[in-house]
Structure 1
Amino acid sequence: MADGLPDSASPLTPPAAKAGGFSLPYVVACGLAMGSADVVPGVSGGSMAFILGIYGELLEAIAGFDLGLLALLRRGAWQAAAARIHLGFLVPLVAGLAVAVLVMVRPITWLYAEHPVFLFAFFFGLILGAILLIARHAHWGVQGLVAMALGVALALLLVTQAPVTMPHDPFTLFWSGAVAIMAMILPGISGSFLLLVLGQYQYVMEGVKGLDLSILLPFAAGCAVGLISFVRLLRWLLHRFHGQVVALLVGFMAGSLWKIWPFRTVLESTRNAKGKLVVLRDALAAPPDAGSLVVALLLAAAGILLVVGIEQLQHRVGVEEMGG
C-alpha cells in the first residue's frame, strides 16, 4: 500500500480497478442475501454486501448519482451514464433485493415472531465469521485499534437506544430518512432499527402502505441526500485510510452483535396500533436450558461455515475478497 491508498488485492478496492468483476448470477444472489437480511430487524443489508465482497462496487455505483450523471443525461450520453452508475451491477442487485423482500418477508418475519433464537443464532454466527475473516484486511496498529474501538462504541450506542417520541413534520422526516439510510449502508447497523429509535418507523411504514406523498416525499428526499453525500465521504475515507476504515467497519459489525445475541429478556414493551407487542428495551440473557444452547451453537456454527463457504465461492467466481 502506497500513499495511503489500497493496493489492487485489498478488499473494498474500487471497481475501476476490477471492471466486470462479478457475474450476473452472483450479483442477483447478493441482492437476494441483502434483501433477506434487511427483512430481519437489527440485521443490516450492508453487512451482507460487506461479507459477499460487493461493498466497494456498491459504494462506487451509488456515488455515480451526482451532477456529472445529470450532465451526461442532458447530453444523451446514455451509455456513459449507465457506466457511471454501474447499471449492469445495480439492476440485478436491486432486482434480487426486491424479490428477496417480497418472497422472504413472510418466512423470516414468522421465524422472528415464533423462533427468534434460531434466526438470530444463525445471523450471530454469520456476522461473527465475517468479522474474523474480514479483520485480516484491517490495519491493526494503534490507529486501527482506536478505529475498531470507536466502531464498537458507536454501534453499541445506536443499538441500545430506546425509541423516542419525535414529531412527524417534513423536516424531521427528511433528516430521519438521511440518518436511517446512512446507517443502512454501514455494515452492522440496521436502518429500520434507527427509524424505530427515532419514533418514525410505524409512521413511515403506514405512509408506504397508503402511498402518502406528504410522508414519502420528504423521507425519500432525506434518503437520497443522506445516501449520496455519505457514500461519497465513505468512499473517500476508504481510499485515503483503507486499513483504518476496514477496522472501523469491523468494529461496527462487532458492536452489532449485541443486538443479535439470540437470548434476550424484555425490560420494557408496548402495543402498537394493531395490538402487536413492540419491545422498547431489552437486555442480554443466558440460555434458558442446555438444549437451547446446543441448538443456538449449531446454528451459529452453520452461519460461520456459510461465511467460509462464501469466501471459497468468491475465489471461484473471481471476487477478490469479502469486503468488496
Structure 2
Amino acid sequence: MTVPQPPLPNEPSAPQPLDQDTTLTTRDTPKQLFGVYIKGMAMGAADIVPGVSGGTIALIAGIYERLINALSSIGPNLWQVFRQQGGLKGLMAVWRQVDATFLLFLLLGIATSFATLAGIIKYLLDNEPLFIWSFFFGLVVATVLILLSEIERWNIGRAVLFAVGLVFAVIVSSLPLLTATPSLPYLFFAGAIAICAMILPGISGSFILLLLGAYDTVLEAVHTLNFSIILTVMAGMVTGLLLFTRALKWLLSRYYQATLALLTGFIAGSLVKVWPWKVDALGALNSEAVTNVMPWQYPTGPHWLITIGLMLLGAVLVSLLSWWGNRRS
C-alpha cells in the first residue's frame, strides 16, 4: 500500500475555487462510489468490535486522509461558501466543499454494517470469542507490518513516537471497565470521546464506549431503535468530530511521517486488546473474559489449526484491502 503523501511545504494545498468542481461529485464513478460504500461497511464492522478501530481500516484502505480532509472542512466557514453563490448553487458549493458524496456513501456503508452485523458480531463475541479475536488479531498484525513499511527514513523521533503510541494504546486497553448505568449527558460525552477514538487508527471507539460503561447501552439502543439514546450519542459524535479532525488534519499535513509512526504505534498497542486467548479473573471462559493468557493455558486448548487459519484469513483480507486502496490511489 502507498499511503497518499501530503503536499510539500512549497506546494500549499490551497482550496479550489468554488466554481471548479474537483471533488467526488464529478470525479468518482458509480463503481468507485460502490467501493467507498464497501470500505464503509468494513469500517463499520471493525468499529463494532471493542478493540479494532474503523480508522485502521480507513488508513489501510487508502481513504484516511480524504476522510480527515472532508470532516475537517465542516464548520462555520461553510456559511460564507454558501453566501458567495446562494440558492441551489450555494448548496452545491457547500456539498463539494465537504466532499459530501464521499461522506454519504461511507456513512451508508458504516450504517449498513451496524444494522446487519452488530447482532452477528455480538453473538460471536459472546459465544465464539477465541475465533473472532483470532481473525482480528491477524488483521491487526498485517496492518502494523504494512504501515511500518510505509514509514520512510526512520529516526529517533519517529521511533519514540511509535513507542509512545504503542504504550498509550496498551495502557488504554488495560484500564478497568466502568459499569454504571449511563445518563443521556454522559452518553453525549462518551459519544464525543468514542468518535475521536474511531478516527484514530488502533484505538477502538467501541472499546472506549466499553471502558466508559456505555457500550451495551448503545448496542441495545441500536437493536431496539431507542432514538433518544441514538440521537444523543450521534450529537456527541458530531461535536467530537468537529473539534478533533482539524487538529489531526494539521498534523497530517505538516508532520505526515511522524504522525504515521504515532498512529502505527496505536495500532500495534491494540494487539493487547485483540489477543485471542482470554479468560476471566477465575480462569474460566465467559463474556467477562478479558485477561490474556498464553495459548497453552487456555482452558479448552490453543486450537492451533483454527486460530492460525483465522489469523491468516484476517491478514490476507487486510492485504487485499491494502492492495485495493493502493490501486485506487
Aligning the two structures, in what range does the TM-score lie when normalised by the shorter sequence? 0.7 to 0.9
Which sections of structure 1, spanning at least 5 residues, go unmatched? 270-276, 320-324
Corresponding residue for residue 272 of structure 1: none
Cα distance in 2, alignment partners of residues 192 and 120 from structure 1: 15
Cα distance in 2, alignment partners of residues 245 and 138 from structure 1: 10
Matches within 5 A, 1:220-299: 220-267=234-281, 279=288, 281-287=290-296, 288=298, 292-299=303-310
Cα distance in 1, alignment partners of residues 170 and 58 from structure 2: 21
Count, aligned residues: 302
Deviation at 1:7, TM superposition (A): 5.0
Matches within 5 A, 1:305-324: 305-316=316-327, 318-319=328-329
**Identical aligned residues as a percent:** 34
Deviation at 1:312, TM superposition (A): 2.9
Work out whether 1:125 is the aligned partner of 2:134. Answer: no
Corresponding residue for residue 226 of structure 2: 211
Matches within 5 A, 1:1-324: 6-7=6-7, 20=27, 23-73=32-82, 75-76=86-87, 77-139=90-152, 140-164=154-178, 168=182, 171-205=185-219, 209=224, 211=226, 213=228, 219-267=233-281, 279=288, 281-287=290-296, 288=298, 292-316=303-327, 318-319=328-329
Q: Which amino acid aligns with 1:261?
A: W
Cα distance in 2, alignment partners of residues 126 and 267 from structure 1: 27
Residue 306 to residue 207, structure 1, CA distance change in 2 (3 Å): closer
Deviation at 1:62, TM superposition (A): 0.9
Cα distance in 1, alignment partners of residues 117 and 235 from structure 2: 27
State the TM-score, normalizing by the size of structure 1.
0.82
Q: Which one is further off, 190-199 or 52-61?
A: 190-199
Give yes or no for contact 1:59–1:231 (8 Å, CA) kept in 2. Answer: yes
Deviation at 1:231, TM superposition (A): 0.7
Residue 123 to residue 174, structure 1, CA distance change in 2 (3 Å): same
Cα distance in 1, alignment partners of residues 15 and 274 from structure 2: 31
Give yes or no for contact 2:142–2:318 (8 Å, CA) kept in 1. Answer: yes
Q: Which amino acid aligns with 1:233?
A: A
Cα distance in 2, alignment partners of residues 31 and 131 from structure 1: 20
Cα deviation 1:92-131 (Å, max 9, x = unaligned): 1111111122222233223222222221111111111111
Residue 80 to residue 120, structure 1, CA distance change in 2 (3 Å): same
Q: Which amino acid aligns with 1:62?
A: L
Q: Which one is further off, 93-102 or 51-60?
A: 93-102
Cα distance in 2, alignment partners of residues 86 and 178 from structure 1: 22
Cα deviation 1:20-76 (Å, max 9, x = unaligned): 478112111101111121222222111111111111111111112101123334633
Residue 116 to residue 205, structure 1, CA distance change in 2 (3 Å): closer
Cα distance in 2, alignment partners of residues 130 and 78 from structure 1: 39
Cα distance in 1, alignment partners of residues 258 and 112 from structure 2: 35
Cα distance in 1, alignment partners of residues 113 and 37 from structure 2: 10
Residue 118 to residue 182, structure 1, CA distance change in 2 (3 Å): same
